[in-house]
Amino acid sequence: MLIGAHVSPAGGPANAVARGEERGCQAIQIFNQSPRQWKPTVYSDEKIAAFHEAVEASESVDALLIHAVYLINCASEDEEIRRKSLTSLTASLQAGQALGAVGVVLHAGSALKKGGDVDKAMQRAAAVIAEALKESEGCALHLEDTAGAGGTLGRSFGELAALLEAAGGGQRLGVCLDSCHLYASGYDVRTAEGLTDVLDDFDAEVGLGRLQSLHLNDSQVGLGSNRDRHAVVGRGELGDDGCAVFLSEPRFQDLPCILETPDPDLEGATEMERCAQLRERGAAARR
């Protein structure tokens, strides 16, 4: 498992590698544009080359994920929002290709209106996703599971499978599983046995071959709450034991695993060391 964190690419993506190294990251995740603006960032050839040089010289950072911005709603009933979402998502995939990212992580969208038609929202989202893949090359797109609030798509493995199929089911489509979102959606991943059962269900409905990245976040709220409330690793409902289980899952081997909720009481490198310790603790318990 490549354990890392979300870092800032301010000043250019090569700086994200440096920030990842400072935190002891093996993998990093960035936004490729301001999360508060629709305007995509197009990296110059010089910045792309600098990024590759930084990764090649790095002693720790081996993998990059790009997180598409939260403004995107591929399922919106608003045609302008869908158009802006397509432009932004396409730019993220193009940046991912240029930077050699493992993939772009996407929250597919939401039906928004209470009682909104999920099937129609799914078709709208799938159409935007398929077009973005058509307008880009190479880089994978990882659909992230959601906590299930506000009509968000991907709250169950069945929904993820349906969305992948509706978007064409191509080889560039994958999944990012978030520990907090799984728990909030009703998947109890706090024990090794529970996580095994959950992944067996994922394999049956989606296929483990689609699993390409992970987010490790603890949860402030209870099982099946359908609320997306991240907590610092070990300080939520999952606790140290649940996070150790997630970090030590054998079927997660070699996947990038990103912490999105930094611990304010720990320096970055110390936080990565703690996660490594939790992973070893989980592995020892499994033995």
Smallest CA-to-CA distance from 230 within 240, 218, 239 is with 218
Q: Which of 6, 107, 155, 190 is catalytic?
A: 107
pLDDT at residue 61 above 80? Answer: yes
Is 181 annotated in the active site? yes
pLDDT at residue 23 above 90? Answer: yes
What is the per-residue pLDDT across 177-204, written as a single tens digit (0 to 9) for each?
999 999 999 999 999 999 999 999 999 9
For residue 185, what pLDDT is reported? 94
φ and ψ at residue 257, rounded to 5 degrees: -130, 115
Tokens linked to 95: 């940046």
H-run or E-run covering 65? strand 63-67
Q: How many percent of the chain have pLDDT more than 90?
A: 91
Q: How confident is the model at residue 151 (pLDDT cuts 50, 70, 90)?
A: confident
DSSP E strands, 202-274: 211-216, 218-219, 230-231, 256-259
Is 178 annotated in the active site? yes
pLDDT at residue 117 above 90? Answer: no
For residue 149, what pLDDT is reported? 81
Q: What is the mean pLDDT of residues 211-226?
A: 96
Which numeric CATH code is attached to 71-286? 3.20.20.150
The SS3 call for residue 66 is: strand
pLDDT at residue 150 above 80? Answer: no
pLDDT at residue 95 above 70? Answer: yes
| Higher pLDDT among residues 258 and 287, named by residue | 258
Torsion sign over Cα 8, 12, 16, 19: negative
CB 199 within 8 A of CB 208: yes
Q: Which of 230, 249, 271, 279 is catalytic?
A: 230
- In angstroms, the Cα distances linking 60 to 20, 28, 57 are 8, 10, 9
Mean pLDDT over the full length of the chain: 95
Q: How many percent of the chain have pLDDT more than 70?
A: 98
For residue 113, what pLDDT is reported? 61
Q: How confident is the model at residue 240 (pLDDT cuts 50, 70, 90)?
A: very high
What residues does each domain of the chain span?
A: 71-286
Amino acid making up residue 96: G
Q: Which of 159, 178, 218, 271 is catalytic?
A: 178
The residue behind tokens 């709250």 is 155
**Count of residues making up the chain:** 287
Q: Which of 19, 82, 215, 279 is catalytic?
A: 215
What is the per-residue pLDDT across 72-87, written as a single tens digit (0 to 9) for each?
999 999 999 999 999 9
Q: Which of 19, 23, 142, 144 is catalytic?
A: 144
Is 6 annotated in the active site? no
